[in-house]
Amino acid sequence: MLVAVAGAALAAVFPTTAATLQVGSKRFTESYILGEIVAQTARRAGTDAFHRRGLGNTAILVNALRAGSIDVYPEYTGTIAREILRLPAVPPLAELNARLAREGLAVAVPLGFNNTYALAMRAEDAAARGIARLSDLKRHRDLRFGFSQEFLGRADGWPGLVRAYGFDLSPPRGIDHGLAYEAIAGRQVDVIDIYSTDAKLARYRLTVLEDDANFFPRYDAVLLYRADVPQRFPQAWAALAQLAGSLDEAAVRRLNAAAELEGRDFAAIAAEWLAQRAGGTAGRAPAQPQGLWRRIVAPDFGRLLVEHLALVFAALAASCAIGIPLGRLAARLRHSAPFVFGGAGVIQTIPALALLAFQNPITGRIGPLPAFIALTLYALLPIVRNTHAGLAQIPRQTIEAAAALALRPAVIFFRIELPLALPTLLAGVKTSAVINVGTATIAAFIGAGGFGERIVTGLALNDQTALLAGAIPVALLALAVQGAFDLLERRVVPTGLRNRR
């Protein structure tokens, strides 16, 4: 029953409709902006569109596309060929489409620019060491490399680069792309992977190393979509087709700079560009408010709060529905306790982000459902343990006396065992609730919303204010949840039982 109620609550807070074009984007500045351009273009054509921002890496977006969780997202031909289709070279769009058709996908609308991978160094270090090409790196084994996690694992990233150039260099460090420029400027690393349209290249005076083996293919920006999108959304698709050839590298660098260097909102940047392209006279959209308080209480605060609370308490209800019976089982059948605690304990040791990622291939979806499952599992251990502890401390004579009165087991549990175990049980539920408030922030990585959206955006832009605007409400929410459970305990648990605990 609790699980059904939790599911209904999630459905109410996170509504989906087949009439809405679901637009995805990866977790870096340019993808956020292009995703906004796609979503706003569809809305201007009279189609309802929703942008699921910063869903993660290529694998997550492609799985979401295959499952129908999203309909379209901006991608690059080099990534489609090398990473998705595992081709040795980038063929024409017609061949890409022939191969993608087997999976119900298609690619179209070349946006007009190439955003290739490259490696970069501080200009003064490159000049001092005489490094201008990637092949020159082989002579400098002392260099420290810092690459994004996706670049480290991609076939067209570091593994392929090592094979192409025969590198035998120090192992690279994994670092978020949004932090890489600050890391190289602070001399924490010497070489980073960059995108050729990055806005920070000039600001940090970096030298882009020549790919003298021509390893990196062209990464022409395109739209990757489900093959039925043109039929399902004909008006939106006609408008999106008009975006072909509308952007060049210089224009994209300016758009990226507006977000990364000027602190402006992705949606405002996209809206201004679309207005200018349409020949409108809309003025320049203002930068995001820089004050922390204004960022905390921004217009999205209410939506994020509702989404965050819905995830936390829907998962908590499901955890109680599963964990309390498991705790009771462990208390009644002592030989089962090691297996029950062991299973819940193993789940607890899995890193929260990994547990969330596991749900994507299992459920075939992104959004609140896999986040709900992961949070439910992650909250089990405190509830199971405290239920067991609360029931185990009830004197056996009390249960035997109730049984001697011919009371049914259900009556004994709900009228005797549960009230006596309630203080300890509530402590476990409170612990799980507070844990879930913090853990729910990672749900933003798969488009499940909540205050994690601000944290993910802050990481992508290395924007400390955005990070705090997401982290502070979460911390306050955790304190509020703990206080609410303390108040609940005082109201429903008799004073004598509270003191005994």
Q: Which residues contact 302 (CB under 8 A, 6 or more apart)?
A: none
- How does DSSP classify residue 137? G
Q: What number is the average pLDDT over the span 69-77? A: 95
Amino acid at the residue 274: L
Half-sphere exposure of 32 (CA within 13 A, CB side): 27
Tell me which long-range contacts 475-480 makes (C-beta under 8 A, separation of at least 24).
477/305, 477/308, 477/309, 477/437, 477/451, 478/434, 478/437, 478/438
Percentage of the chain beyond pLDDT 70 is 90
> Quick check: 22 pLDDT over 70?
yes
pLDDT in tens, 288-324: 556 888 889 888 899 999 999 999 999 999 999 999 9
Pairing mode, strands 21-24 and 173-174 = unpaired
Q: Which residues contact 399 (CB under 8 A, 6 or more apart)?
A: 412, 416, 417
Q: Is the pLDDT of residue 462 over 80?
A: no
Structure tokens at 431: 């612990």
Q: What is the arithmetic mean of pLDDT over 437-445?
A: 88
How many CB atoms neighbour CB 501 within 10 A? 14
Percent of the chain predicted with pLDDT > 90:
52
- As a whole number of angstroms, the distance between CA 64 and CA 365 comes to 6
**pLDDT on residue 201:** 86
329-355 burial, b at 16+ Cβ within 10 Å, e below that, comes to bbbbeeeebeebbeebeebbeeebeeb
pLDDT at 18: 65
Nearest-angstrom CA–CA distance, 448 and 5: 18
- 3-class secondary-structure state, position 192: strand
Does residue 280 carry a pLDDT above 70? no
Distances from the Cα of 104 to the Cαs of 17, 67, 84, 292, in angstroms?
A: 20, 10, 14, 45
Sign of the CA dihedral running 314, 315, 319, 320: negative
Q: State residue 9's pLDDT score.
A: 47
In angstroms, the CA 471 to CA 444 distance is 13
- Reported residue count of the chain is 501
Listed in sequence order, the residues at least 6 apart from 136 whose beta carbon sits closer than 8 Å to its beta carbon are: 129, 130, 209
